[in-house]
Structure 1
Amino acid sequence: MKIRVERDVLADAVQWVARSLPNRPSVPILAGLRLEAAGGDVVLSTFDYETSAKVTIPADVKDEGVALVSGRLLADIARSLPAKPVDLTSDDTKLEITCGSARFTLQLLPVAEYPDLPSMPASTGTITPDMFAQAVSQVVVAAGRDELLPVFTGVRLEIEGDTLSLLATDRYRMALKELPWNPAKRTDDAAALVPARVLSESSKSMTAGEKISLSLAGGDAGDGLIGFEGEGNNGVRQITTRLLDGEFPKVRHLMNVQPAVTVRANTSEVVAAVKRVALVAERNTSLRMMIAEDHITFEAATGDQAQAVEAVEATVVDETGNGLAMNAAGFNPHYLLDALNALDTPYVNFGFTAPGKPCLLTPLVEIDGEPSTDYKHVIMLMRLPQ
């Protein structure tokens, strides 16, 4: 193999592919990064039997060929190269990298032992990259981090006609986003449980093009596989990953909160107040929201050592007409900040039913407008001490 490629193009491609390398590969060969030069392109890829990443970049290919080298080492080298064209030449035992006066020699790994990457399934549909990236970022905040409970570390994708829904929960909060997309053809409704980490990486790294293609395998094409394809800054990127096993909990009904009390406030003002008051919140204790007729007050304390109180102007509505059904709510401050930061509107609408019951947060464009229905975030309230 003998190729020449622009330094920035190579560095960007190697950095992106190397992100998918396993930290502790089950077998040493999976630490490798595969380069294949053919035609006028070079394909860089990684695979760990669960997730594959592949990027195709333009190159001046003098001799076609395949090479497998240490992925993390190549990433470190590519990032450090001077701003000059890069020549890569390989023989049977080594890969030589030349850039200006800098020269590196890497030992080749046995490419014959490297597993074949899974094929990208046929496209199920496409979606606008910016819209998809925003939707994913709003939902993944509610996904779990505990690998011992893998079903909660995923995001459930539900396809129903020209609507794509994203749903995540870690049992203490839930997020649902519904958005339009372009199905490749009218088929039966489908659903898939995708690792949140892979979904987040895919959505953020494919925003340079006009669309992202989502490919969900079905039938004899190989169940349990989903793929994403889109444009990066310097080439076409593809990611495939195995779907998570297990049944996702039925939590959609928890989104249908019929509030007894609604509170509307400026999102940035609430975020700032919560951040300040939470500074003195004792670990694993709640941040208290006190609800009055025209404002809300946040309170937190660390025993007798520190206390904090801050009020924020709000529009409070008694939906029952029988007087405020509740005047205080307890939030996990981190969950509350995650939910508020996921909103993309100037105002937030809180929907409360009763103490200890779920609270629904929805976006508001105007303080006296109707809440958006395409994004819902539910937080389980914490019990307040008597």
Structure 2
Amino acid sequence: MEFLSERGALAESVAWAARVLPARSPVPVLGGLLLDASDGRLRVSGLDFEASASVEAEAATVRPGRVLVMGRRLLDICKVLPGGPVRCAVEGSRFTVAASDARFGLSVLPLDDYPALPPLPKLRGAVDAGEFAAAVADVAVAAGRDDTLPALTGIRLRLDGSTMTLAASDRYRYAVRTLPWKAADPEVAADVLVSARRLTEIARTLGRSGPVSVALDTGSVGFEHAGARTTVRLLDGRLPSHDTLFALADPAVAVTDRAALVEAVRRVSVVADGGSPLQLTFNGGPDASVLLQAGYEDDVASQRLPATLEGADGMTVAFNPVYLMDALSSFEEPTIRLSLMGAGRRAMVTAGEATPDTAAHRHLLMSVKQSVL
């Protein structure tokens, strides 16, 4: 086996496939990347027990063939290679990588012990890469981190006609984002749970333009974009339905500038040690505003911002400042709308021009009961 590749193309291909490799594995070959060169193309593949990834790139094939090498070591080498063409070849029991005056040698792993890559599931449709990446980022902040509750570490992926819905919850917050997609079959319907960590990695690396093909069966979900494909095993269980949770009866509605509120939350929460809440006091009328306060006893902070309030003369709520910051930062619109039910009750965050019933992006938070100051 021998091929020639540009340093950038090789490094990108290796990085794409290496992201699924396990940090530690009792099966040594699962730490390897499979390189397959033929017909002017190089395919780089990796897998573990949960996910697989493969990508194709142009490469001048001198001698076709396949080789399995330690993936993370090859990735480290690609990061330090000088620019320009790279020559890779199998020489006996060693895989050599040479660029300019730099040369590396890696021992090869036994190909016969390497599992077959799982096939891509059945194609279900396509979604815009940029919109999909943004939607995953919007909801992933609400996914749980506790591996003892695996269902809460996932993102719900629901396909219904021409609409894709992504949702995540850690029991204290619940984020939902809908986006259009092009179904291969107008009658397609699916409701599955995918690892939030895996889906976030995929969304970040799929690219920002062009269609992403979505494939799905009963055990895995797959994505394909610009010569790169990946599969992820589905999680067991389901997230609780958000329809009832998101139904807020006659809330007070506050609207304020999003960027200013983000900065104020970041500033005031500096004194909110130990997860202590950040309190927001909204006032209506001619001097409508919101007062942010945090801290106890001598260490306190506050800031007042312009804000409108409808549906109540005043409203005081308090939130975990990290959760509130995550919610606000997942929006990009200039204004933010908070639909408030009161202290210790649900609160909905949406873009300023959208209502909880019409918003494509909704983030539900539980407020806490106690006051801060």
Which TM-score applies when normalising by structure 1? 0.92
User: In 2, distance between residues paired with 1:26 and 1:248?
Assistant: 32
Which residues in structure 2 correspond to 1:6-25 (within 5 Å)?
A: 6-25=6-25
Is the CA contact 1:14–1:74 (under 8 Å) kept in the aligned structure 2? yes
User: In 2, distance between residues paired with 1:188 and 1:20?
Assistant: 29
Q: Name the structure 1 match of 2:315.
A: 327
Q: Name the structure 2 match of 1:273.
A: 264
Q: Name the structure 2 match of 1:313.
A: 306
User: In 2, distance between residues paired with 1:140 and 1:90?
Assistant: 42
Is the CA contact 1:209–1:230 (under 8 Å) kept in the aligned structure 2? no
- The C-alpha deviation readout for 1:187-239, integer Å capped at 9, x for no partner, is 3421110111111121121125511011011xxxxx211001112xxxx2111
1:304 aligns with 2:297: yes
Give the CA deviation at 1:252.
2.9
1:164 aligns with 2:150: no
Letter in 2 for 1:277: V
1:146 aligns with 2:139: no
User: Unaligned stretches of 5+ in structure 2?
Assistant: none
Percent identity of paired positions between Structure 1 and Structure 2: 35
User: In 2, distance between residues paired with 1:142 and 1:208?
Assistant: 23
Give the CA deviation at 1:19.
1.6
The verdict on how the C-alpha distance between 1:259 and 1:377 changes in structure 2, with shifts beyond 3 A counting, is: farther
Q: Name the structure 2 match of 1:364.
A: 352
Q: Name the structure 2 match of 1:263.
A: 254
Letter in 1 for 2:216: L
Which residues in structure 2 correspond to 1:245-260 (within 5 Å)?
A: 245-260=236-251
Q: Name the structure 2 match of 1:344.
A: 332
User: In 1, distance between residues paired with 2:341 and 2:208?
Assistant: 43
Which residues in structure 2 correspond to 1:1-386 (within 5 Å)?
A: 1-207=1-207, 209-217=209-217, 223-231=218-226, 236-293=227-284, 294-301=288-295, 303-318=296-311, 323-324=312-313, 327-365=315-353, 373-385=359-371
Structure 2 counterpart SS, 1:197: helix
User: Unaligned stretches of 5+ in structure 1?
Assistant: 218-222
Aligned residue-pair number = 368
Give the CA deviation at 1:92.
4.5
Is the CA contact 1:296–1:313 (under 8 Å) kept in the aligned structure 2? yes
The verdict on how the C-alpha distance between 1:21 and 1:151 changes in structure 2, with shifts beyond 3 A counting, is: same
Structure 2 counterpart SS, 1:279: helix
User: In 2, distance between residues paired with 1:208 and 1:98?
Assistant: 32
Letter in 1 for 2:299: A
User: In 1, distance between residues paired with 2:70 and 2:93?
Assistant: 13
Letter in 2 for 1:343: F
Which TM-score applies when normalising by structure 2? 0.95
Question: After TM superposition, where is structure 1 displaced by more than 3 Å over at least 4 residues in a row?
Answer: 369-372
User: In 2, distance between residues paired with 1:172 and 1:66?
Assistant: 49
